[in-house]
Amino acid sequence: AQSVSQHNHHVILSEAASLELGCNYSYGGTVNLFWYVQYPGQHLQLLLKYFSGDPLVKGIKGFEAEFIKSKFSFNLRKPSVQWSDTAEYFCAVNRGSKNDMRFGAGTRLTVKP
């Protein structure tokens, strides 16, 4: 069965620190990859997506992610986090015509001012 693993459950950083959140999936073949963010009290929002082409994708608010096919990974990065990045981050994988998108368990990011 397809699974999505996010290695960090809770990450605590100080402002200006660099961020990398891990995401691995177990699907073979072509996949569509997403990172979503949920700010406190808000709904899930799309941060970025990868379908094909350049494996380094840029999203909103200075986030980027790199797709490494050989490692089945799609890690999220940001060079310098801000207090406003405090949120929960979800990696998601979708494949094929069945559209049964699978989400990771989420990583809670706390940024200290």
Q: Is 53 among the residues that bind another protein (CB under 8 A)? A: no
Give the whole-angstrom CA distance, residue 99 versus residue 108. Answer: 26
Q: Is 55 among the residues that bind another protein (CB under 8 A)? A: no
Q: Is 5 among the residues that bind another protein (CB under 8 A)? A: no
Q: Which two tokens stand for residue 92?
A: 């998601």
Whether residue 101 contacts residue 94, with contact meaning beta carbons closer than 8 Å, is answered with yes
Give the whole-angstrom CA distance, residue 74 versus residue 99. Answer: 19
- In the range 15-34, which residues lie near another protein by CB under 8 A? 32, 34
Smallest separation (angstroms) from another protein to the CB of 99: 5
Smallest separation (angstroms) from another protein to the CB of 98: 5
